[in-house]
Structure 1
Amino acid sequence: MTDDKKKDTKLTTEEKQDDKKKTLSVGGTLSIGGTLSTSGGASSGGKSGVAVEVRKRRDFSSAGSNTSGAPVSGELSERARVLEEARKNAEQEEQRREEERKRLEALKKEQSADIERKKSAEEERRQKEEEAKKAAEEEEKRKAEEAKKAATEAVKEAPAPAAPAPSQEDSNRRGGNKKSDNRNNNSGGDDFGGKKRSGRNAYVEDLEARFRATSRYARQNNRRGGGNQQSSEPKEKVIREVTIPEAITVSELANRMSERVADVVKKFMMMGQMVTQNAIIDQETAALIVEEMGHKYTLVSEADVEDNLIPVDDEKQLTTERPPVVTVMGHVDHGKTTLLDTIRRTAVADREAGGITQHIGAYQVTNKAGRKLTFIDTPGHAAFTSMRARGAAVTDVVILVVAADDGVMPQTVEAIKHARAAEVPIVVAVNKCDKPEANPDRVKQELLSHELIAEEFGGDTIFVNVSAKKGTGIEELEEMVLLQSEVLDLKANAKREANGVVVESQLDKGRGPVATVIVQGGTLEIGNLLVVGNTWGRVRALVNDRGDRVKKAGPAMPVEIIGLQGVPEAGETFVVVESEKKAKEVAEYRDKKRREAEQAAKAGGRTLENLLAQQVGDQKQLAVVVKGDVQGSVEAIAESLKKQGTDEVVVNVVHSAVGVITESDVMLASASNAIIIGFNVRAGSQARDLAEREGLEIRYYSIIYNLIDDVKAAMSGLLAPTVEENNLGMAEVREVYTVSKVGTIAGCMVTEGLLRRNAKCRVLRDGIVIHDGEIDTLKRFKDDAKEVQTGYECGLMVKSYNDIKEGDQIECYEMLEKAVSIDDLKKAAEKSKDDTPEAANS
């Protein structure tokens, strides 16, 4: 009996284990789909289990689709709430600052009134002291005169009695006076001696001697007393006018007031502040200290150094006519530089790398009538947007070059926008009219959509058909430009200090920093001190566009300036100043403002939006160090590289500057894991050796779009490849064989494509994926096979899966990695933007 119970218990345990295996097996099939089957004890191949699973999958997908938008909308609302709170806090902070400013202004007014009251009281006290001093001196003088007068009268009116015996005191007094002693000793007391003294007796003589001694003693006392009185009186305080900048040290403040530092520190302690002589105090605190010390103050700002720096508008009677500044703009390869070469009779276009202009150039020509015109040639490539904007900003007239065989292009439209932003007239030069396929009328029709209406259509835009190669239409174009300049009435004063704008700058190996400028007013001469942006210098040489040295440059004349301390930014203005001190102050102030702006830009990166964006995913960075021949090219390259960034990878321009590649550039690139790019410059021998030791590659370029293409390729290499599924084929399970110690073998017929050994596969039952695995074994009859094509039978085993039934479908596929390019990412981003509801509504 006991044995039977044990057998039943054993059978029950085995059945439970089998059930668990079946349940776990079914659960394994459903774990790939993201759900877990709970149909314990039911047949894994039953139709009810499949139906339950279908319902669960539908519920799960519908629940996921219903709740997928909630977190996103909640996150957006939370972000909007935080931004609204930030905006309100900013408004409150602005209101608080305004109230604080008003309070400080009221305090300054009150302090100024208090200073005036103290000043008037001090002036009254000083006047009273002077009046009292004058009265005392007059009284003392009057008493001295009365005493002298009384003594003189007493001597005249005194009688002549017999000479009394001299007292001991008189004898001692006469003993101190050698002349008196000698006179007394010589007299001997006889009558003959008395007669020689003209009838004066010894008594009268004694009175005179005593009066003289008394007067001498009084004068000595007056001199000594007057000196003591003068030294005992307090010296009159000198009130100084103290200039207070925005920040000043305590020692400097004391020096400007001519006060001791200890007294100033003591005054701070009386006001409840503990400072040292090197402590920096703000302007308002310094003003309070100056008032407490009894001085006057004048508040100045650092920005005051730029006051009256730019000359004011010239008086009409001092101005004379100046040449027009003409900027040539248009799409790349539409013939801008060739047109200028024809006008100047030069060959600049042949010297440009790749046949495209990559620098901004300024030239001055004289036409047949003897009138001068200044031309600015701008690049047409898309990367040189900032150069074209600078050219339009300093110009008087814009020549828009459009190829008659190509029509209006993207950079043509951009040039129109720059010209309108600068509010300058446009003269359209339809170039390449000598070609057979040229169609000038099409150009006029296309420009109508951009509000450039030809005169023949009732508009005011001048169109001139030209051929830069053959030189036709050039004179008519010059006449139209001069006509526009006459309408504009261009004048300037050439008899004042010069000012102008920098159109290009570079670091020349032999000449140092060189800036190409256009003088807008005044006359620039050799030896002038000038400030250009955050640098300054003294003009050592002026070179015109022909390469000749000149002594001076008048209005609208382009010249190269040699003698600056550094390479200025293209687009900066220059102005001549009177002293080197002024030039240094302005340059230091601008350099300080530039550094503060850079620090603020770096600090501004930590905003709420940026932090949220960083939480989404980390961007990969491609660090680069850019060195170029001119400032405009370096600026254009840096801007173009920054525009290539996407959400996955960005370009970080670690350093960009003008000049050759140096050892410091290589060390910086090595420290920041950056690549070095040289545009029309080369590395020195020491820099090359260091780069080889550090394992860094230096890439040299002369054409900007080749540079951008290579950087794009490098950025694409940083991107992770995308994985795509490639469907290989389908097979139908016709029979199922179970082999002990081996597993379940499925006899299949390949219906589509092929089956491949070790490829991934899915097991489908009634159109539902019940397992995702891998083909472990594939055979044709008894032979192993790598692939089985369509229409052939085969036997296969799925790795770690035996629950295959007749009628199941076997889907064979593989996963392929595909490289991603930057252009693909940008296209995908643009497509996603177009697919958004906002874009669809718009």
Structure 2
Amino acid sequence: QHIGAYQVKMPGGEQITFLDTPGHEAFTAMRMRGASVTDIVVLVVAADDGVMPQTIEAIRHAKAANAPIIVAINKIDKPGADPSRVRQELLSYEVVVEEMGGDTQDVPVSALKRTGLDKLEEAILLQAEILDLKANPHRSAEGTVIESRLDRGRGPVGTVLVQRGTLMQGDIVVAGSEWGRVRAMLDDKGKQMTTAGPSTPVEILGLSGAPAAGEPFVVVENESRAREITEFRERRQKDKAAGAAVGARGTLDQMLARIQAGEQKEVAVLIKADVQGSAEAIQVVVQKLAHEEVKVRVLLAGVGQITESDVQLAKASSAVIIAFNVRATSQARELAQRESVDIRYFSIIYQVADDVEKLVKGKVAPKAREKFLGYAEVRKVFNITKTGKVAGCYITEGLVKRGTGVRVLRDGVVIHNGELTQLKRFKDDVREVARGYECGLSFANFENLQEGDVIECFEVEMVPG
């Protein structure tokens, strides 16, 4: 039973704690709470495969967390291994290794043959020395939950990383909205422990429930204080859930309020567009809007639909997602709603500039707001003599209304923006059609319809600023 965190003792007596995979959910969620749990990121790149999509994602996470990177070029024993290709590929993601004149250490290793691992350990210790990492062990413990689970025999088990102070058996801890007395502590090899100092990963037993990964944990003086804190956090969680239901508008207004209060000195954005040219153009436009007091940080400018990993990246850095002629996958939409991540859809580049400029200046966003009505899926396309092409559709979500704005999406990319001219059920003209029903739709000045296209229906409403 491994716990996602391991401690290695060096021959010289030093100890290094390794946290599992940078793609770990905890890695993303922890940054959101402001204290990055990792001090150093070891980026493992295979010498034969080179930079893969998950490598790029890991680099973004490390940069967003402002954690220094050490590159471990693995599998150098393989016949097709080419470490210099890896170093070259990393340049395009702004990771410049020392050999290329940068300040990022890189170590060629082979995990299978165990070559170069001592050099990697030396590199980590050197980086730690440069960063001057220190913690006070003579105080009550504080740290972060790395992961948790429900064990059939032992109840809730939390894996925690002690970051400051010393955790002792019998201490009363609060982790997220759970609390309990530490009945037992185990290290990564399953051995019993009575104390755990800074940077020690341990499994603790005795909590009232399984806390969420990334939640902070603290030791408190007594049970009544623990109950008080957990009750407050539970209430706050319920309020947050209620707030998320109000929609993304709240999150944007909160960001504006934070800027006006002088708390937030940067606006983080994540850009996804239908083509690379648009993504680059939007990136240039939003970066020009930076103010001397408020900077604009672009976490990512990419193409294609919005995925869950985009939402997680935005959540971790409290960013707004700018979607230009693309849409989010249904899983990403649900995650964004759950985590109150603001996804803003645009089809005109000037609107992006206006919106971001208003965010930067701390003013209220535009008064005209799009209200999503529903989705319809094109099942069949008919040619009608006088009307032209009519789409036989099935309403999959919400409803479709006549006279409202529509967009035609093909593979998650907008191919037409316009108005709905006709809406029929059988032979009758109708005002609206709800989810689960079939209908016929036709559009003004657009005939390039295909089976499998998705029709998005929306109306523009005016909201108070």
* TM-score calculated relative to the size of structure 2: 0.56
Q: Find out whether 1:477 has 2:120 as its counterpart.
A: yes
Report if aligned partners of 1:389, 1:418 keep a CA contact under 8 Å in 2. Answer: no
Match in the other structure for 1:830: 413
The 1:369/1:504 distance shift into structure 2, 3 A limit, reads: same
Match in the other structure for 2:218: 575
Q: Distance in 1 between matches of 2:337 and 2:92?
A: 42
Report if aligned partners of 2:29, 2:213 keep a CA contact under 8 Å in 1. Answer: no
Deviations 1:321-352 (A, max 9, x none): xxxxxxxxxxxxxxxxxxxxxxxxxx97xxxx
Q: Find out whether 1:363 has 2:20 as its counterpart.
A: no
Report if aligned partners of 2:26, 2:214 keep a CA contact under 8 Å in 1. Answer: no
Report if aligned partners of 1:466, 1:474 keep a CA contact under 8 Å in 2. Answer: yes
The residue type paired with residue 195 of structure 2 is K
3-state secondary structure, aligned to 2:93? coil
Match in the other structure for 1:549: 192
The residue type paired with residue 379 of structure 2 is T
Match in the other structure for 1:294: none
Match in the other structure for 2:379: 722
Deviations 1:248-302 (A, max 9, x none): xxxxxxxxxxxxxxxxxxxxxxxxxxxxxxxxxxxxxxxxxxxxxxxxxxxxxxx
The 1:512/1:504 distance shift into structure 2, 3 A limit, reads: same
Report if aligned partners of 1:466, 1:472 keep a CA contact under 8 Å in 2. Answer: yes
Q: Distance in 2 between matches of 1:826 and 1:423?
A: 37
Q: Distance in 1 between matches of 2:180 and 2:386?
A: 80
Deviations 1:236-258 (A, max 9, x none): xxxxxxxxxxxxxxxxxxxxxxx
Match in the other structure for 1:644: 329
Report if aligned partners of 2:139, 2:166 keep a CA contact under 8 Å in 1. Answer: yes
Q: Which runs of 5+ in 2 are unaligned?
A: 253-307, 314-326, 339-374, 397-407, 418-465
Match in the other structure for 1:463: 106
Match in the other structure for 1:255: none
The residue type paired with residue 46 of structure 2 is A
The 1:562/1:474 distance shift into structure 2, 3 A limit, reads: same
The 1:511/1:448 distance shift into structure 2, 3 A limit, reads: same
Alignment of 1:432-581 (within 5 A): 432-581=75-224
Match in the other structure for 2:320: none
3-state secondary structure, aligned to 1:516? strand
The 1:574/1:367 distance shift into structure 2, 3 A limit, reads: same
3-state secondary structure, aligned to 2:150? strand
Deviations 1:619-638 (A, max 9, x none): xxxxxxxxxxxxxxxx99x9
3-state secondary structure, aligned to 1:574? strand
Deviations 1:701-755 (A, max 9, x none): xxxxxxxxxxxxxxxxx97452146xxxxxxxxxxxxxxxxxxxxxxxxxxxxxx
Report if aligned partners of 1:530, 1:574 keep a CA contact under 8 Å in 2. Answer: yes
Greater percentage in strand: 2
Match in the other structure for 1:417: 60
3-state secondary structure, aligned to 1:445? helix
Q: Distance in 2 between matches of 1:464 and 1:771?
A: 67
Q: Distance in 2 between matches of 1:653 and 1:398?
A: 27
1:654 Cα deviation after fit: 12
Q: Distance in 1 between matches of 2:156 and 2:18?
A: 23
1:533 Cα deviation after fit: 1.3
The 1:508/1:418 distance shift into structure 2, 3 A limit, reads: same
Q: Distance in 1 between matches of 2:192 and 2:8?
A: 16
The 1:422/1:770 distance shift into structure 2, 3 A limit, reads: closer
The residue type paired with residue 330 of structure 2 is G
The residue type paired with residue 329 of structure 2 is Q
The 1:816/1:432 distance shift into structure 2, 3 A limit, reads: farther
The 1:437/1:603 distance shift into structure 2, 3 A limit, reads: same
Report if aligned partners of 1:530, 1:538 keep a CA contact under 8 Å in 2. Answer: yes
The 1:816/1:501 distance shift into structure 2, 3 A limit, reads: closer
The 1:833/1:435 distance shift into structure 2, 3 A limit, reads: farther
Report if aligned partners of 1:504, 1:515 keep a CA contact under 8 Å in 2. Answer: yes
Higher Rg of the two aligned structures: 1
3-state secondary structure, aligned to 2:237? helix
Report if aligned partners of 2:71, 2:104 keep a CA contact under 8 Å in 1. Answer: yes
Q: Distance in 2 between matches of 1:524 and 1:386?
A: 21
The residue type paired with residue 481 of structure 1 is I
Report if aligned partners of 2:26, 2:147 keep a CA contact under 8 Å in 1. Answer: no
Q: Which runs of 5+ in 1 are unaligned?
A: 1-346, 349-359, 610-634, 656-717, 726-759, 763-768, 773-812, 835-842
1:516 Cα deviation after fit: 0.4
1:816 Cα deviation after fit: 10
Alignment of 1:233-632 (within 5 A): 361-378=4-21, 380=23, 387-388=27-28, 390=30, 393-604=36-247
3-state secondary structure, aligned to 1:506? strand
The 1:507/1:367 distance shift into structure 2, 3 A limit, reads: same
1:561 Cα deviation after fit: 0.8
The residue type paired with residue 539 of structure 1 is V
1:603 Cα deviation after fit: 3.3
3-state secondary structure, aligned to 1:393? coil
Report if aligned partners of 2:29, 2:214 keep a CA contact under 8 Å in 1. Answer: no
| 547-556 or 385-394: bigger deviation | 385-394
1:390 Cα deviation after fit: 3.4
Q: Root-mean-square deviation (CA), in Å?
A: 4.1
Report if aligned partners of 2:22, 2:58 keep a CA contact under 8 Å in 1. Answer: no
Alignment of 1:40-189 (within 5 A): none
Q: How many residues align?
A: 299
3-state secondary structure, aligned to 1:599? helix
Q: Distance in 1 between matches of 2:213 and 2:204?
A: 13
The residue type paired with residue 722 of structure 1 is R
Q: Distance in 2 between matches of 1:652 and 1:424?
A: 26
The 1:826/1:373 distance shift into structure 2, 3 A limit, reads: farther
Q: Distance in 1 between matches of 2:174 and 2:63?
A: 30
3-state secondary structure, aligned to 1:722? strand
Q: Distance in 1 between matches of 2:243 and 2:227?
A: 24
The residue type paired with residue 194 of structure 2 is K
3-state secondary structure, aligned to 1:600? helix
The 1:461/1:408 distance shift into structure 2, 3 A limit, reads: same
1:549 Cα deviation after fit: 1.0
The 1:484/1:551 distance shift into structure 2, 3 A limit, reads: same
Match in the other structure for 1:838: none
3-state secondary structure, aligned to 1:420? helix
Report if aligned partners of 2:245, 2:337 keep a CA contact under 8 Å in 1. Answer: no
1:466 Cα deviation after fit: 1.0
Q: Distance in 2 between matches of 1:519 and 1:771?
A: 70
1:450 Cα deviation after fit: 2.1
Q: Distance in 2 between matches of 1:553 and 1:468?
A: 29
1:463 Cα deviation after fit: 0.8
3-state secondary structure, aligned to 1:464? strand
1:422 Cα deviation after fit: 2.0
3-state secondary structure, aligned to 2:227? helix
3-state secondary structure, aligned to 1:566? coil
Report if aligned partners of 2:26, 2:213 keep a CA contact under 8 Å in 1. Answer: no
Q: Distance in 2 between matches of 1:409 and 1:559?
A: 32
Report if aligned partners of 2:377, 2:393 keep a CA contact under 8 Å in 1. Answer: no
Q: Distance in 2 between matches of 1:406 and 1:600?
A: 44
